[in-house]
Structure 1
Amino acid sequence: MSRAPDQPIDPIRWCAALTLAFWALVLWNLAIPSGPYFDEIHYLPAARDLLDLSTFSNREHPLFGKEIIAVGMAIFGDNPWGWRFLPSAAGALALFAIMRTVWFGTLDRFATIAAGILVASGFHLFVHSRIAMLDIFMIAGLAVAAWQFAAAMREPETGRRRLIATGIALGLAMASKWNALVIAALPGLAFLVLRWFAGRRRLLLSRRGMPVPGITLAEASVWLGVLPLAVYAATFLPGYFYSINPMSEGIVAHHRLMLDLQTQVLQPHPYQSTWPEWVMNWRAIWYLYEPVDGAQRGVILIGNPLTMLLGLPALLWCMWQGIAARRPMHAAAALLYAVSLGFWMVAAKPVQFYYHYFLPSTVMLVGLALTLSDLREAGWRRVATGVLVASVLLFAYFYEVLAAESLARTNSFLTWAWLSGWV
């Protein structure tokens, strides 16, 4: 008799341990700075307005992220912990969901853990988990949606509840920031394309074939199309009850206003940048650099100098493997990066910033994890492990200006300003 193939062991405990370690580090000195910084000056007043339903402010963005910040303030108080605790939890959830996505997409233990290490030490997730901005809720929603969709394909016996969870997560991601819109359409399109190529004669009503046997295309369109839109719309309900500037003309008219506000021509900003600068990691944003809480402190948003560059050839490898070897997870990483970055190449938003690269860069780090796993399988174990170690070491080197730790001098930023665009 032939021997049964080895069954890989789910590294869920490692995923949980890495997530808890990351969250603990995020929570350390979370209340510093003790006052609002960077875009918190926009979102905290909007969250306060939500709590008392006074003035509908910050109308250019959807409501869900501000609703979650408001919930944190209602639970923990209008203080730094109230502002930032739930964003920190969203960051931890995003990290766990990313690792679970890679596991269900590959059944590869090394790639799963490597993805967690790379994303946790990639700077973007850590910085945005410690600030009350909207981006972290969008990333968490998309990560959970990817996890549940990959799990539905891997374990079709749980397909219905997984697809429902996918739809809810997609709706909440869109309701956090519009950046998620272009990605939110992909699960439904993927279901359509895969079912089409499965060759089912009754395309809408057949329950057989990829991607989730047992679920018809008609039913999937409800969970992946109608449900996200319904969840998205539901998050706007508080907008009807503001005492000043309510959504009295309805949600459609409000979205016209949102679009006008998003595409208005703004004054040039010293930290604005373009997508080629994001890709090459040339332009940083200092979210904070000033004396605060008894010391000189800074918070820089830039990508990990090693993995942001290694990720680019890794994506080319993923694209090649997706096409030539038909490896779906590799293809998904390359496609998601291209779509999420391509959105900003054509977006009618005249002033753009490096934090818009948060989503593409996270996908790129997943692609790098897949590539490192392939290198390891090809016998390059030391190289694969060395990249992970170097990523963590660089994170440790930059930690002081990722976590607003006290700095020795007013010009300490020069220690980390390796490029002129990082000043």
Structure 2
Amino acid sequence: MRLRPSALATRPGLVALLLGLAAQLLFTLHIDQPGQIMFDEVHYVPAAKSLIELSSPRNTEHPLLGKELIGAGMDLLGDNPFGWRLMPTLAGTATVLGIFAFLWILMRGRMRVAVTGAVLAMLDQSLFVQARTAMLDVFLGAFLLWGMVFLLWAMHGTRGQVRWRWCAGAALLGLATAVKWAAAPYIAVFGLALIAVRLRDTRRARRPIAAAFFSGDQPHWQGLSTLAALVLLGAISIPVYFATFAPTFFYLTGATDGLRGLLHLQREMYAAQTQVLPHHNYQSEWWSWPLMLRPIWFFYEWDHGAQRGVLLIGNPVIMWGGLIAVLASYVLWFRTKAWRPLALALLWTFSVAIFAIIPKSLGFYYYYHLSALFLCMLLPVTFHQFDRLRAKGWEEWYLALALVCFGYFYPILSAAPLHDTQSYTYWMWLPSWR
């Protein structure tokens, strides 16, 4: 099962196109099932419709961009399951391609690693379900990943390329924040990562500490000083974020009173985000998400002449295997100083730990969406590092196992027809999954 070198190995554009077509087909097939609103679509589809009509504010807990995108799909295909879920499928495909691009750049053109990460993302069951549901997290992941791609791409660009790539990354991070505020902490983390790299480069070059912040003569992000990069990060992402609120100035109810009303809306969002909510049947604690102790039934009803179900659950091969990769990455750092797996392991750790800090009274498994994507990136990088040490060729077997697991769960991921109302028990490995 070893991958053989081929002409595709030197044609990332063609490989990305093939991966994108495969992902889009996978995510789009039978998106009209179920044919009715499921789980939190009950919030976001009506909110998207109100934006189309500019009737009044709906779902003021989150910024507008995700609902605007859902509305764009409804404008194209109508107020039906195809319209609700068209744009999430495109965001799911963009997520797969973002992982491919990020790993291609991070690993300096190693096709094996980039393709493995992209295929793992396609087999990431939580991404599959989110890409077929009119909710927000799939848009959050797509914009955040592509922001990371452009910031990383800028890292190794020429002086003429660095600035526009960095600005594009900042704009994409602003769009991610315009989907959900959960993206905001990552902007701060990427700024800290820039400072860390600059301090390391300065130490290695035995230059004054001031050069790390004020000099653009650097081996990474050439021609852009740290101070200028941080200013651009905020000066671009913040206006882009606010630009997505343009529809609020045209509500027929006059709900937004200019800039004052826009700022009031931000306060309303903060109040909604921090309010104490009543108990929910599918709520779960942040520490339980990596273990997949409480997945979520988005749907389990009779629909289109059959019993159907949609369970938001990660692929156990990827989710539980990814935890081993996190531990292995930390061990590799102490043994070999391998910084690439360490960086991704730290990113995953941060993505989970942030939910132990932010003031939300309820948590749900779908908050783990970004963390699951980071595991899809970490796994092939860790495999590559072990390939360099002693073990070779395990990636294909791991992908095959993940594919088998995906196929096993597929009926309750895709709302396929089931035999009867008790069919779900076939997939319930743990009592908490029911």
Q: TM-score range by the shorter chain?
A: over 0.9
Q: Is 1:35 aligned to 2:36, yes or no?
A: yes
How many pairs were matched up? 416
Cα distance, 1:210 vs. partner?
4.0
Residue in 2 that maps onto 1:391: 402
Residue in 2 that maps onto 1:284: 295
Q: What is the CA–CA distance in structure 1 between the aligned matches of 2:126 and 2:283, rounded to whole Å?
A: 17
Deviations 1:348-375 (A, max 9, x none): 1111100001111211221112112223
Q: What is the CA–CA distance in structure 1 between the aligned matches of 2:99 and 2:331, rounded to whole Å?
A: 22
Q: Is 1:22 aligned to 2:23, yes or no?
A: yes
Residue in 1 that maps onto 2:317: 306
SS of 2:10's equivalent in the other structure is coil
SS of 1:289's equivalent in the other structure is strand
Q: Which one of the candidate residues 317, 322, 342 is aligned to 1:331?
A: 342
Q: Work out the percentage of aligned pairs sharing the same amino acid.
A: 35
Residue in 1 that maps onto 2:142: 140
1:255–1:310 CA distance, 2 compared to 1 (3 A): same
Q: Is 1:404 aligned to 2:415, yes or no?
A: yes
Q: What is the CA–CA distance in structure 1 between the aligned matches of 2:143 and 2:87, rounded to whole Å?
A: 13
Residue in 1 that maps onto 2:272: 261
Deviations 1:109-152 (A, max 9, x none): 22211111211111111111101101111000011011111211
Q: What is the CA–CA distance in structure 1 between the aligned matches of 2:242 and 2:42, rounded to whole Å?
A: 26
Q: What is the CA–CA distance in structure 2 between the aligned matches of 1:256 and 1:98, rounded to whole Å?
A: 34
Code of the residue aligned with 1:187 in structure 2: it is: F
Task: Give the structure-1-normalised TM-score.
Answer: 0.93
Cα distance, 1:161 vs. partner?
2.0
Residue in 1 that maps onto 2:5: none
Task: Give the structure-2-normalised TM-score.
Answer: 0.91
Q: What is the CA–CA distance in structure 2 between the aligned matches of 1:98 and 1:92, rounded to whole Å?
A: 10
Cα distance, 1:379 vs. partner?
4.1
Q: What is the CA–CA distance in structure 2 between the aligned matches of 1:235 and 1:171, rounded to whole Å?
A: 10
Which consecutive residues of structure 2, in runs of 5 or more, have no partner in the other structure? 1-8
Q: What is the CA–CA distance in structure 2 between the aligned matches of 1:232 and 1:181, rounded to whole Å?
A: 11
Cα distance, 1:217 vs. partner?
2.4
Q: Is 1:230 aligned to 2:239, yes or no?
A: yes
Code of the residue aligned with 1:181 in structure 2: it is: A
C-alpha contact (below 8 Å) 2:157/2:222 kept by paired residues: no
Q: Which one of the candidate residues 108, 115, 118 is aligned to 2:117?
A: 115
Q: What is the CA–CA distance in structure 2 between the aligned matches of 1:271 and 1:410, rounded to whole Å?
A: 20
Residue in 1 that maps onto 2:256: 247
Code of the residue aligned with 1:270 in structure 2: it is: N
1:21–1:27 CA distance, 2 compared to 1 (3 A): same
Cα distance, 1:172 vs. partner?
0.6
Residue in 2 that maps onto 1:4: none
Which region of structure 1 is more displaced relative to structure 2, 255-264 or 351-360?
255-264
Cα distance, 1:258 vs. partner?
0.9
Mapping of residues 127-166 of structure 1, within 5 Å: 127-157=129-159, 158-166=161-169
Which region of structure 1 is more displaced relative to structure 2, 21-30 or 234-243?
234-243
1:161–1:325 CA distance, 2 compared to 1 (3 A): farther
SS of 1:407's equivalent in the other structure is coil
Q: Which one of the candidate residues 409, 413, 431 is aligned to 1:420?
A: 431
Residue in 1 that maps onto 2:74: 73
SS of 2:307's equivalent in the other structure is strand
Q: What is the CA–CA distance in structure 2 between the aligned matches of 1:327 and 1:88, rounded to whole Å?
A: 35
1:377–1:204 CA distance, 2 compared to 1 (3 A): closer
1:322–1:154 CA distance, 2 compared to 1 (3 A): farther
C-alpha contact (below 8 Å) 1:142/1:180 kept by paired residues: yes
Q: Which one of the candidate residues 213, 223, 226 is aligned to 1:214?
A: 223
Residue in 2 that maps onto 1:349: 360
SS of 1:250's equivalent in the other structure is helix
Residue in 2 that maps onto 1:93: 94
Q: What is the CA–CA distance in structure 1 between the aligned matches of 2:135 and 2:234, rounded to whole Å?
A: 27
Q: What is the CA–CA distance in structure 2 between the aligned matches of 1:312 and 1:244, rounded to whole Å?
A: 50
Residue in 2 that maps onto 1:185: 188
Code of the residue aligned with 1:29 in structure 2: it is: H
The Cα RMSD (Å) is: 1.8
Which region of structure 1 is more displaced relative to structure 2, 196-205 or 129-138?
196-205
Q: What is the CA–CA distance in structure 2 between the aligned matches of 1:234 and 1:243, rounded to whole Å?
A: 19
SS of 1:296's equivalent in the other structure is strand
Cα distance, 1:96 vs. partner?
0.2
Code of the residue aligned with 1:278 in structure 2: it is: W
1:299–1:220 CA distance, 2 compared to 1 (3 A): same
Deviations 1:283-332 (A, max 9, x none): 11010100011111100011111221111121122234446544342222
